[in-house]
Amino acid sequence: MKILSVDRLNKLLESSSADVTELAEKNYETQLEAAAKLIAENALRRPVVLLSGPSGSSKTTTAFRLKTLLGERGIKAHAVSLDNYFLPLDGLSEEQKSRLDLESPERLDMPLLTEHLERFCRCEEVCLPAFDFATQSRGEGSLFLRRENEPVIIEGIHALNPAVTGCVSRYSIGIYVSVRTRLALGERLLHPEKIRLLRRLIRDSLFRGRSAEETILAFDSVQLGEQRYIMPYKTLAQAEIDTFMSFEAAVYGYILDDTLKRIDKTFSHYDIVQELTDFLTSIRPLPPEAVAEGSIIREFIGG
């Protein structure tokens, strides 16, 4: 686990924020190149790529960046999100919803997913589902067909779980993505799970219709789900990618300043709000315009 001090980060940002963002993007790109090489070398024997990681790890952007890199190598690849296989919640009562473990792999439509994974391997056409997080409903998506020698990247929090994707284990390789760097403010450390929480606070507000309080209230259950359903299987991956960007907290501080200030101090999880605020206000802010188009951070802040 790497550590970056806030003092060091501020000095770098003050010296040249452009250099900070460029270096961070290059570091991520180097990791992507290594993963793309691994996929390309196994494309014939193992055309299914299982890309997993906890919530807020930037699995979606990583999958599409790998797809692009493979294309530059002359290999046509596809990216499919497991999120679209979530079972819809429309039609359930509030009581039924309250009893659901939203982090469990049982939230996935396993019969449909298993059928589709097997058909991917046989190069048979399927109609992909499309899940709407805002309404928690699912409809039909686009037609999909993988041809011979075309890798398909399956990305989602449960992608490495054998109970979910074990049916294609003989034809797959695994990649685990997450934030693997901590921020240090004096003796205090901001755990990677809190950096991913910052990402979700913005993403959930912009794209999933959730308030900051709702996202923070879900933090404990999200963490428990990661420990139960995701972390035990990361050792099954053949490659890991650290998606931490040295400059990202500076951007989040710029965006979330007013949002965190509006949260009442009587809020049940205000200790988390205070911890995030302490770190963000100690970091030199960086406007979103400084983030490169196509950066993984755009997955969370939009644009």
For residue 91, the number of C-alpha atoms closer than 13 Å in the C-beta half-sphere is 4
Tell me the backbone φ, ψ of residue 103, rounded to 5 degrees: -95, -10
The total number of structural domains that make up the chain: 1
Q: What is the pLDDT of residue 89?
A: 85
Q: What is the pLDDT of residue 64?
A: 96
| pLDDT per residue as tens, the chain (303 positions) | 799 999 999 999 999 999 999 999 999 999 999 999 999 999 999 999 999 999 999 999 999 999 999 999 999 999 999 999 999 887 777 777 777 887 899 999 999 999 999 999 999 999 999 998 878 889 999 999 999 999 999 999 999 999 999 999 999 999 999 999 999 999 999 999 999 999 999 999 998 889 999 999 999 999 999 999 999 999 999 999 999 999 999 999 999 999 999 999 999 999 999 999 999 999 999 999 999 998 999 999 998
Q: What is the pLDDT of residue 93?
A: 77
| Number of neighbours of residue 293 by Cβ within 10 angstroms | 6
Distance CA 52, CA 272 (A): 26
State which amino acid sits at residue 53: G
> What domain range includes position 186?
2-301
Q: What CATH number does residue 133 fall under?
A: 3.40.50.300
For the chain, the residue count is: 303
Q: What is the pLDDT of residue 283?
A: 98
HEC sequence for 93-160:
CHHHHHCCCCCCHHHECHHHHHHHHHHHHCCCCEEEEEEECCCCEEEEEEEECCCCCCCEEEECCCCC
- Model-level pTM? 0.91
